[in-house]
Amino acid sequence: MIPVFDGHNDFLLRLLRKPAEREKIWLKGEGKGHLDLPRMRAGGLAGGFFAVYIPSPDADASIDLDALMDAPPYDLPLPGPVGANTAQPVAAAMIGHLMWMERTGTLSICRSVAEIRAAMAAGRIAAILHFEGAEPIGEDLDTLHLWHAAGLRSLGPVWSRPTAFGHGVPFRFPGEPDTGPGLTEAGKRLVAECDRLHILIDLSHLNEKGFDDVAALSGAPLVATHSNAHAVTPSTRNLTDRQLAAIRASGGMVGLNFATVFLRHDGRRASFDGWEPVLRHLDHLIEHLGEDHVGFGSDFDGAMVPEAIGDACGLPRLLDALAAHGYGEALIRKLAHENWLAVLDRTWGR
């Protein structure tokens, strides 16, 4: 079985919501969601980016977001900002759960590619601590150093809402990623400090002007951990060919998002059987980025995924579909894990 290293999952959110059941959820599996230790092992999912995401406390429960995204066109309102004082206790709780997972002996929080390889060789899940939105960081950036000391090695300045650092794209279909201003002055300082600390800067969810600001300011490879091709599915969350060219020129990478809403040509959230939308996006990404700059960014436990994948157990079916599509074993290994480890080496090892 070819091991898979994945660019994004929201598993920690499940533990945040059911902390008393974390042993059952992680070690045994509760039959829900996309991830747990038994299914990761069964599907060859050897590791990936474990996201710390702060739910919006002011989310309007009366809005049925799933129903709206099943009936394009849609333009969902952006949630309001979440302050650092609100976000920090949530982030600390989620990191605590990841550290508990490490204490079970089944997972390692990795700070280098050597540590990722060692964990994979030992049969432990290789986890990268990632922030999906920089809300837990104050504008003075002091807490960035605190989280870095705890293992933070990847950070997206925004989720799809504004922060003190930049502006996230709304969930809109059809739509362009050019939806607002670029990074704030605090955001520019955040990029510079992440570069100095060798923290990967994730461009997924960032609007076009913010993307361009990171490209101009950062000396690191440009990486979008879980995004797709705008030319195939014109969602604000997907990357234009111009953005893909910038990522390729930087030696960066894109992780293919398994979320149906970013894969389907019609922008619907509804699931589907078969592989055609997945293959169309992969073909486009490989054409524009090259074989060395594409991987997977599943969004497991954060989105609806195609029926053919289902959950982590479906990853071997995905790799079989790529082989049937004509991808050779060398390319499949690159997509599965080698490209992620290479871009992390280029980012962390500078």
Q: Summarize pLDDT for 170-200 with one digit per residue, the tens.
A: 999 999 999 999 999 999 999 999 999 999 9
Give the residue-averaged pLDDT of 294-301: 98
Q: Tell me what percent of the residues of the chain surpass a pLDDT of 70.
A: 99
Q: What is the pLDDT of residues 140-160, one digit of tens each?
A: 999 999 999 999 999 999 999
Among 57-66, 212-221, 278-287, which is the least confidently predicted range?
57-66
Q: Please, what is the average pLDDT of the chain?
A: 97
Give the residue-averaged pLDDT of 252-270: 97
Residue 350: per-residue pLDDT: 67
β-strands 172-173, 200-201: how paired?
unpaired
Whether the predicted pLDDT of 297 surpasses 80? yes
Q: What is the pLDDT of residues 71-118, one digit of tens each?
A: 999 999 888 999 999 999 999 999 999 999 999 999 999 999 999 999
Give the residue-averaged pLDDT of 23-40: 97
Residue 64: per-residue pLDDT: 81
Query: Is this model's pTM higher than 0.95 or not?
Result: yes
Whether the predicted pLDDT of 60 surpasses 80? no
